[in-house]
Amino acid sequence: MKTTDSLPTSVTAMMDVLMEDTHIRDALIVKNESVFEEVFNLFSGACVALSWKVLRDEAKAQDVVQNVFVELYTNPHKYDPSRGSLRTYLLTKSH
């Protein structure tokens, strides 16, 4: 197993994701709208698809996802990167 700074590659990759998600959360806390827009563009489609699978109603699925992203925008501090990725957080909130 390849190591970087004595950490296994998988742990290094996990640390990189954690740091990236932490930076994203910090940018959202200071209301960086371009970061929010990128997060929305990256994850909203998957969130709507998951919500639709649960609800089987496109309009309701979109409403759920809108509420998820409004909550992320207004309360980004509720997302804790140490508990999981931003993608996982958003998908969990969407179903």
> Between the CA of residue 91 and those of 12, 45, 46, 51, what are the distances in Å?
24, 10, 7, 8
Least-confidence region, from 5-9, 41-45, 51-55:
5-9
**pLDDT winner (highest mean) among 2-11, 13-22, 82-91:** 82-91
Residue whose token pair is 């930076």: 23
Name the band, by pLDDT with cuts 50, 70 and 90, for residue 4. very low
Q: For residue 55, give both structure tokens.
A: 């609800």
Orientation of helix 86-93 relative to helix 33-55, angle to 10°: 40
pTM listed for this prediction: 0.82
What's the maximum distance between 2 C-alpha atoms anywhere in the chain?
A: 49
